[in-house]
Amino acid sequence: MRASLLAGTAAAALLAVLALAGPLALPDPDLPDYAAKLLPPSAAHPLGTDQLGRDVLARLASGARVTLGAALAVTTLGAAIGVVAGGVAGYARGPVDAAISRVVDVLLAVPSTLVALAVVGALGPGLVHLVLAMSVAAWAPVARLTRSHVLTAATRPDVVAARMAGVGRGRVVLGHVLPGAFLRVLAVAALGLGETIIGLSGLSFLGLGAQPPTAEWGQMLAESRYDLASSPWLLAGPGVAILVAVSAAGLLSDWLGERL
Amino acid sequence: MSIDVKRPFLAVALLASLAACGAQEPVAQARLRVVTPYSVKSLDPIKQGFWASEWGYGELLMRPTERGTVEPWLLASLSRQGESAWTLTLRQGVRFQSGRTLDAVALKELMEAHLARNPAVRSALEGAKVAVTGPLAVRLETAEPVANLPSLLADESMFSVFDVASGTFTGPFEVKSLDSRKLVLARDPGYWGGKVRLDGVEVRFVPDGQARTLAVRSGEADLAFYPPTDALRTLKGDARVSIREAALATGQLRGFLNVRKAPLDDSRVRRALSLAVDRKELAETVMDGFYRTPSGVYPEALPYSVKNLRTELPAAERLLEEAGWRRGADGTRARDGRPLAITINAYSPQPDTKPLAVAMQAQLAKAGFLVKVAEVPENYAAMRSADGWDVGLSFDGSLSYGFDPVAPLAQMMRTKGPRNLGGIADPGLDQVIDGLAGAFEPAERDRLLREAQRVAVEEQAYHLIVVDRVPRVVAGPRYRDYRPSSVLLHLDASTAPCGDSCGS
Amino acid sequence: MSPALEVSGLSVTYRDGTRALRGVSLTVEAGERLAVVGASGSGKSTLARAVLGLLPRGALAEGSIRTDGRPGYVAQDPFTACDPLRTVGHHVREAWRAAGLRAPQGAAEAAVAALSLEVAALAEHPHQWSGGMLQRASIAAAGALSPALTVADEPTSALDADLADEVMAALGRSAGALLVITHDLRLAARWASRVAVLCEGGVVETGPADRLLADPRHPHTRALVAALPSASGGRAAPQGPALVEARNLARSYGARAAVRDASLAIGAGQVVGVHGRSGSGKSTLLRLLAGLEPPDAGTLRLPERRPGWVMPVFQDARASLDPLWPIWRTITEPLTGLRAARRRARAVEALASVGLGHLDPRTRPGRLSAGQCQRVAILRAVMAAPALVVADEPTSGLDTVAAGRVAGLLREVAEGGTAVVVVSHDLDLLGGLCDDVHEIRDGVMTP
Amino acid sequence: MRRLLRLLASAAGTLLAASLLVWGLAELSPGDPARQVLLSRGVAVPVETQIEAVRAELGLGDAAPVRYARWLGGALTGDLGSSWRTGRPVTAELGERLPATLRLCLTAVALAILPAFALAFAGALGRHRWPDALSRGVMFAGAAVPSFLLGVALLEIVVVRWGVGRVVADGGWADTPLPAATLAAGIVAQWARVTRGALIDAASAPFADVSRARGSGELRVLLVHGLPHAAPPLLAVAGMTVGGLLAGAAVVESVFTWPGVGRLLVEAITARDLPVVQGCVLAGVLAFLAGAVAADLATRAGDPRL
């Protein structure tokens, strides 16, 4: 398990460096240079250039900000909504719980990609719409987890003991319920992050997410699919990036899961 | 690592595919396989009649040629009788696939059917009447003079020729089957025009551009129509396929200019805009030569064309100075504190508009324009609002598919024309356009067209012509000498594989 | 005749470096019954696994184990030892199949019939059987191939006391030589001819059961014997006014009456035991006393209503501590008013007072043994200065030594002037600990 | 029987709630349905009276509950409206595309089962040794390689370079293997993980030790005791994946131009053809629920305790 933590952190750090240091060290990812179209990898362009002569590494870095940023936004938004909704359902019980649980049931009864497709279908393609759409699908599992955590918390021996000792409700929630919930949510979110990256880039690949010239990894792959035979480096960059990002999320989630 | 385990089912997949390929009947030597993005939705000769002439199962009364002219096709002759009447005389011996002869009665029936149900025909020939005047001759009388009737009869969206009784056509091919995926055609053995060289044609509808070109590369298809520019670029240097192009550029990427608001309400700014765009760089460098550099609104081969498009940065700057736009410190021009800012709309269904707009952004910056590139889902819809855009890119030909220059002009530039999206209201130009409707003499027509070009391009620069688009196909080895039609007449009796001469 | 089992100089080191056995030598003669007794962590399970050839991958075994053929095996919990998705018949017949043989016609039926089990029930699944019967089926399977040796690992610890004897009798009937692994010295004495005491991976004392009980020589054996609750039990109940008095309590869940009629009076400094089998209503009674739920009928007189006047001690000690909290926070949780440093100091004091002074107060429960967890839980209860402590099966799952320590601690709590109620199915425990033991059966309590 | 009824009732409730969401999404969507309908009828620049007529025809002036009830009533009787793009009934469009998707998904499932079990057994048998590491690596890669990347690569290498199979699939059996294999690659990892976990759980249970003590080898333990325990979780996941394949198939179908429901959905989204989007999503929900119910029933049938 140590190994998964190390490998996951290393991969995540690599991507973070790419995303954050990219704009400082690399050329403008969106500026076309018609004189330098489709150059193979070289010292000046470590990953070559694309159809418009843009530096692929720079676009990869810019895409890291877009893809990972969007995926993190989805995951964070989903986790935040899920924790609040699940917490409210678990504590309020009664009709509030019933209403929230019903919505969660329905969302969980539909594959998340389908939910995302449905929402994008209604709002229209676009990265912002896609992020919203995927967040709609992402909050349900977190809500269910939080709710069951809160519900079982009431009968957990350590909580009963604390309540009997006179510890206030709020302190019990802060001290006993939330920290455990937080770790669980984190593990679920990390797992979801990988799926979100795949889903996001997949839908962008289909043209339902980021629109050109935004350098989103799936979008970059969509732009370059024609060039696989002649300029394979165009696919290698974003392809490997997605692979690394999803693996990093999976490894970290594994590690978190083992800790619980 | 992954190969080790995936190999078993990959192998299964391969074996199954191999078996499937083996099971397919060997492709007949003279059978053409085509992939195209647009599906033939039905065989309705009026609503979907234009497919008939495109795919060779139907024909037209007049034929647009590759020189930009029209000539009789199913007609033997077309002659004018006074201001608003024409005599149409049919060729002898033309038969429908049902066996019925195309005679004057059949022609009258089909023309009346079109006049009743075809909106394009109805709006062009409002109130027209057809009368049989001989075994092969009918007289067409129109309410207004229609000078462009030859072009109308050559336009695929107008009079598709069909047998009203049986719904069959006259083309070299018969429709064997049609569903949402493919159209299957077979040679009509009784074709009036003689021997049809191909045994049959299979037209598959494949919306995905990548898949179409891949299909030719993999040998599944012989011709891929409407290849995306992205795909063409990657085909350069692939010996298995060739990119074939038509003679004439019938489509253009043009910018509709929003002349209702500043800064493009000033003709000097519009002219400066046109002078600042380097069309050669756009067509040859940005688009890798897959577009052509336009010299005017119409193809140079046409008698009335005027070469009046040029790139001259100093002249553009002079015009802008004259109009009061002065350069600021950052190079952007401004007047009364407001920058010379314009928004160019690219539209997603035509992905090429985006890089072209971006490249124009850089070119126009040299003249002092501050350009914002916006992307809209639908070009016309975005231009319907009077605000929010200055240049709306759109692929719109200056010629109809019957080589008619007048109808596009009237639609796009006449005051309140249905496609006059930028709000052009120019009484002088309107007068020229109205004159064209009654100009039967070629000399008179050409004079008026030149006048229209002078006003629309040189004086007022109402549209920004960007690049010319030539129809292209990607052809496999057996069709490497296939010549795409400029006007979408993809197949005829002489279409055939190239035989031994190009097999090597 | 050669011995059924001969272990000599056996040392086992696990992959993580833990040394579970150090030079153990044992012999079980044909027909002999040897009990190996030890506290948890003494290595007795490792010994059983080594004999059965079930040591995990990477464990290093030195020395030698000689058996006469493959031993039969009876595991601790019959329900987990049988595949829940397979029938009991499958479980019994697997004795032949696993050895690569075909079960002779009727052999499985004969084996279970010999232990007075119903043959027809072989087609049922384990969850339809009772624990005692299922364990006897396992014994029948273990003896199916007439092995020279049968290894039984805590064969009765999952069963109620009155079923244990039945099972041990069955084991005695069907096995040749027997190696019983147990923490229960009394059980060992009753059923084994010889007892070996295992401590920290080594055999510290071997001898006839009677002698070992009467005259333990090794200090560890002495500790084990001392920890045995004395069956005679019964202390003089200290006189005093009843602190808590319950009369004719009743509580139902839907149609099911959990407690029908229970009356109880507990005075300060008194330990009252409630004995009953599982499902007899004792846990519900405890919840009523703790005020966790209201009774449907009857009266409950309590001295006061301040928070912390009644504190619980739970059955699953580890689950009753927050896994993310260092133990000092858990122990001093009732002291909500104090600052952290002060609380930590109090926790250190408290830990020292129950012999856990060596523990780092920052340790989390995951690193403690179950017995240590239970002592921490009792400290938390005491910290609230309760008038009443209610303990639900406080020693279940603990080895004898740890159970003895927990019982002793509860006694000390009572001596400090607190009333204590303990419910358990273990009469031995209650007898040794309580001033007064009541029995509850089907929700009705008899004094 | 009562359990089955309760299960179906719960699924129906979920379906009803999902239908409300699907309908509501379309309501939230920007754009005027009347204009879209006119566009599908070939009227690009409608005049106000035409728009009014279509609005009346579609009942757009009615209150929301009335519109929902009408829509639901239509949906229950198989009328999901007409496509804005083609003007054809949505059910006809779906019906035309469904067989190809079913064929693709079923083949993918069939292709996935064996490798999934092979990986799971390799992992469980060689636990903590190289076969386990290898199978975990393959599972990780399978989960991390996006299907569109795999599909594009397979298309280029297998079809274009080697000339095996076809680029333009017509949805028949002959074209199925390659897209099905692409779809299966993602499923294999998921199934193998679940199966491996269940196998290892069963193999470390006390009854497995009993079996070993009686002389069973590891393989026998896994086959006799592991498989029955791996079946329920695998069935549960399989039910969900099969039901959810429609959404996953959208990507694969688009890459391989597979004429299925998934691509129909993507095309409809791009064309803003809301009735078709609604129809596809509803079909997806239905498939998913059917998968879940089937998995639940199978699980119950396989476990005597339930």
Tens digit of each residue's pLDDT (9 = 90 or more) over C343-401: 889 999 889 888 888 888 888 887 788 888 999 999 999 888 888 899 988 887 776 67
Length of chain D: 306
How far apart are the CA of A180 and the nearest CA of chain C, in angstroms? Answer: 7
Q: What is the pLDDT of residue B165?
A: 92
Question: Taken in order C210, C215, C219, C224, is the CA torsion positive or negative?
Answer: positive
Do residues C73 and C150 touch, judged by C-beta distance below 8 A? yes
pLDDT in tens, C389-443: 999 888 877 766 777 788 888 988 888 888 899 988 777 777 778 888 888 877 7
Of D200, D208, D181, whose CA–CA distance to D135 is shortest?
D200
Q: Is D26 an 8 Å CB contact of chain A?
A: yes
Q: What is the pLDDT of residue C40?
A: 63
Do residues B261 and B498 touch, judged by C-beta distance below 8 A? no
Where does residue D275 rank: exposed (0-12), middle (13-18), buried (19+ CB within 10 A)? buried
Q: Is D159 an 8 Å CB contact of chain B?
A: yes
pLDDT in tens, D64-74: 888 888 888 88
- Poorest-confidence range of B455-459, C106-110, C379-383, D239-243? D239-243
pLDDT in tens, C201-223: 888 889 888 888 888 888 888 87
Q: What are the chain C neighbours of A169 within 8 Å (beta carbons)?
A: none
Q: What are the chain B neighbours of A51 within 8 Å (beta carbons)?
A: 230, 233
Mean pLDDT (chain B) is: 88
Band the pLDDT of B10: cuts 50, 70, 90: very low
Do residues A47 and A106 touch, judged by C-beta distance below 8 A? no
How distant is the alpha carbon of residue A11 from its chain centre?
15
Q: Which one-letter DSSP state was computed for residue A221?
A: H
Tokens of A221: 């792959």
Residue with the bigger pLDDT between C447 and C129: it is C129
Band the pLDDT of B7: cuts 50, 70, 90: very low
Mean pLDDT (chain D) is: 84
Q: Is D306 an 8 Å CB contact of chain C?
A: no
Q: What are phi and psi of D145, to 5 degrees?
A: -80, 115
Which residues share a beta bridge with C253?
C256
Q: What is the mean pLDDT of the segment spanning C95-116?
A: 85
Q: Write the secondary structure of D129-178 as one string of H (helix), E (strand) and C (coil).
A: CHHHHHHHHHHHHHHHCCHHHHHHHHHHHHHHHCCCCCCCCCCCHHHCHH
Contact B35 D168 (CB under 8 A): yes
If you measure CA to CA, which chain B residue comes closest to D165? B17
Name subunits touching C (3+ CB pairs < 8 A).
A, D
Which residues share a beta bridge with B257?
B391
How far apart are the CA of A230 and the nearest CA of chain B, in angstroms? Answer: 6
Angle between helices B406-413 and B427-437 (to 10 degrees): 150
Q: Is B244 an 8 Å CB contact of chain A?
A: no
How far apart are the CA of B376 and the nearest CA of chain A, in angstroms? Answer: 11
Determine C/A contact with 3+ CB pairs under 8 A as the test. Answer: yes
Band the pLDDT of C233: cuts 50, 70, 90: very low
Q: What is the pLDDT of residue C192?
A: 87
Residue with the bigger pLDDT between B208 and B486: it is B486
Residues C109 and C141: their CA atoms lie apart, in Å, by 10
How far apart are the CA of B4 and the nearest CA of chain D, in angstroms? Answer: 9
Which of A160, A165, A179 minimises the CB distance to C308?
A165
* C188 membership: H or E segment, kind and range: helix C185-191
Which residues share a beta bridge with C300?
C246
Share of chain A above pLDDT 70, in %: 98
Q: How far apart are the first and last CA of chain D?
A: 13
* Segments in B171-247 forming alpha helices (H): 209-217, 229-235
pLDDT in tens, C244-289: 888 888 888 877 778 888 888 888 888 888 887 766 777 788 888 8
Q: What is the pLDDT of residue B500?
A: 57
Share of chain B above pLDDT 90, in %: 61
Residues B159 and B152: their CA atoms lie apart, in Å, by 8
Share of chain D above pLDDT 90, in %: 4
Q: What are the chain D neighbours of B219 within 8 Å (beta carbons)?
A: 163
* B201 membership: H or E segment, kind and range: strand B200-205
Determine A/D contact with 3+ CB pairs under 8 A as the test. Answer: yes
Residues D241 and D292: their CA atoms lie apart, in Å, by 9
User: Do B1-36+171-248+472-504 and B251-469 fold alike per CATH?
Assistant: no
Q: Is A205 an 8 Å CB contact of chain D?
A: yes
CATH topology classification for A1-22+52-258 = MetI-like fold (1.10.3720)
Could you tell me if residue D293 is inside a domain? Answer: yes
Q: What is the pLDDT of residue C303?
A: 72
pLDDT in tens, B152-204: 999 998 999 999 999 999 999 999 999 888 999 999 998 998 899 999 999 99
Radius of gyration of chain A (CA): 22
Highest mean pLDDT among B360-374, C129-143, D11-25, D264-278: B360-374
Q: How far apart are the first and last CA of chain A?
A: 13
Tokens of C148: 């020279």
Q: Which one-letter DSSP state was computed for residue B423?
A: -
If you measure CA to CA, which chain B residue comes closest to A206? B208
Residues A193 and A186: their CA atoms lie apart, in Å, by 10
Could you tell me if residue D285 is inside a domain? Answer: yes
Q: Where do the domains of chain A lie? A: 1-22+52-258
pLDDT in tens, C18-63: 788 889 999 998 888 899 987 766 788 889 989 998 888 788 889 9
On whether both D196 and D294 belong to a single domain, the answer is yes
How far apart are the CA of B300 and the nearest CA of chain A, in angstroms? Answer: 28
Domains in chain C, ordered, with CATH? Answer: 5-226 (3.40.50.300), 242-446 (3.40.50.300)
Residues C199 and B331: their CA atoms lie apart, in Å, by 90
Residues D27 and D49: their CA atoms lie apart, in Å, by 23
Q: What are the chain C neighbours of A158 within 8 Å (beta carbons)?
A: 319-322, 330
Give the range of the structural domain holding residue D49, as residue numbers without chain letter: 2-76
Could you tell me if residue D52 is inside a domain? Answer: yes
Q: Residue C39: helix, strand or coil by DSSP?
A: coil
Do residues A197 and A249 touch, judged by C-beta distance below 8 A? yes
Q: Is the pTM of this model over 0.80?
A: no
Domain stop point among D13, D45, D76 = D76
Which residues share a beta bridge with B459?
none
- Residue-by-residue DSSP string for C306-356: -TTSEEEE-SSTGGGS-TTS-HHHHHTTT-TTS-HHHHHHHHHHHHHHTT-
Contact D257 B207 (CB under 8 A): yes
Q: How far is CA A142 from CA A138, A139, B438, D183, in A?
A: 7, 5, 73, 27
Name subunits touching B (3+ CB pairs < 8 A).
A, D
CATH no. of B251-469: 3.10.105.10
Domains in chain D: how many in total? 2
- Residue-by-residue DSSP string for C178-225: EEEEES-HHHHHHH-SEEEEEETTEEEEEEEHHHHHHS--SHHHHHHH
Name subunits touching A (3+ CB pairs < 8 A).
B, C, D
Other residues' Cβ atoms within 10 Å of the Cβ of residue A232: 15
Which of A1, A104, A105, A110 is the best substitution to test chain D (most D C-beta atoms within 10 A)? A110
Tokens of D23: 């309908």
How distant is the alpha carbon of residue D171 from its chain centre?
17
Residue B113 has pLDDT above 80, yes or no: yes
Of C49, C53, C38, C67, whose CA–CA distance to C202 is shortest?
C38
Q: What is the mean pLDDT of the segment spanning C312-332?
A: 87
Question: Taken in order A104, A106, A111, A116, is the CA torsion positive or negative?
Answer: negative
* D53 membership: H or E segment, kind and range: helix D48-58
Which of A1, A149, A158, A174 is the best substitution to test chain C (most C C-beta atoms within 10 A)? A158
Q: Where do the domains of chain B lie? A: 1-36+171-248+472-504, 59-152, 251-469
CATH no. of B1-36+171-248+472-504: 3.40.190.10
Band the pLDDT of B100: cuts 50, 70, 90: very high
Residues D247 and D280: their CA atoms lie apart, in Å, by 9
Q: What is the pLDDT of residue C235?
A: 45
Which residues share a beta bridge with C419?
C388
Q: Is D303 an 8 Å CB contact of chain C?
A: yes
Q: What is the pLDDT of residue B327?
A: 93
Residues A224 and B234: their CA atoms lie apart, in Å, by 10
Band the pLDDT of D235: cuts 50, 70, 90: confident
Of B133, B121, B105, whose CA–CA distance to B49 is shortest?
B121
Residue B322 has pLDDT above 90, yes or no: yes
CB-defined contacts A:B, below 8 A: 44
Determine C/B contact with 3+ CB pairs under 8 A as the test. Answer: no
Residue D189 has pLDDT above 80, yes or no: yes
pLDDT in tens, B378-434: 788 788 878 889 999 999 889 988 999 998 999 999 998 888 999 999 999 999 999
Q: What are the chain C neighbours of A180 within 8 Å (beta carbons)?
A: 322-324
Residues C208 and C215: their CA atoms lie apart, in Å, by 10
Residues B395 and D13: their CA atoms lie apart, in Å, by 50
- Those residues whose C-beta lies under 8 Å from the C-beta of residue A240, and which sit 6 or more positions away, are none
Q: Is B12 an 8 Å CB contact of chain D?
A: yes
Other residues' Cβ atoms within 10 Å of the Cβ of residue C206: 17
- Give me the residue label for tokens 């397919």: B24
Other residues' Cβ atoms within 10 Å of the Cβ of residue C8: 13
Question: Taken in order B352, B356, B361, B364, is the CA torsion positive or negative?
Answer: negative
| Residue ranges for chain A with pLDDT beneath 50 | none
Which of A34, A211, A214 is the best substitution to test chain B (most B C-beta atoms within 10 A)? A34
Q: What is the pLDDT of residue B266?
A: 94
pLDDT in tens, D87-108: 789 999 899 888 898 899 889 9
Which of B212, B214, B221 minimises the CB distance to D155?
B214
Which of C83, C124, C149 is the best substitution to test chain D (most D C-beta atoms within 10 A)? C83
Which residues share a beta bridge with C312?
C390
Q: What is the pLDDT of residue D290?
A: 86
Q: What are the chain C neighbours of A168 within 8 Å (beta carbons)?
A: 336
How far apart are the CA of D216 and the nearest CA of chain A, in angstroms? Answer: 30
Do residues B381 and B390 touch, judged by C-beta distance below 8 A? no
Q: What is the pLDDT of residue B89?
A: 96
Which of A32, A37, A211 minimises the CB distance to B358?
A32
Which of B3, B9, B212, B416 is the best substitution to test chain D (most D C-beta atoms within 10 A)? B9
**Architecture of domain B59-152 in this structure:** 3-Layer(aba) Sandwich (3.40)
Q: What is the pLDDT of residue B13?
A: 45
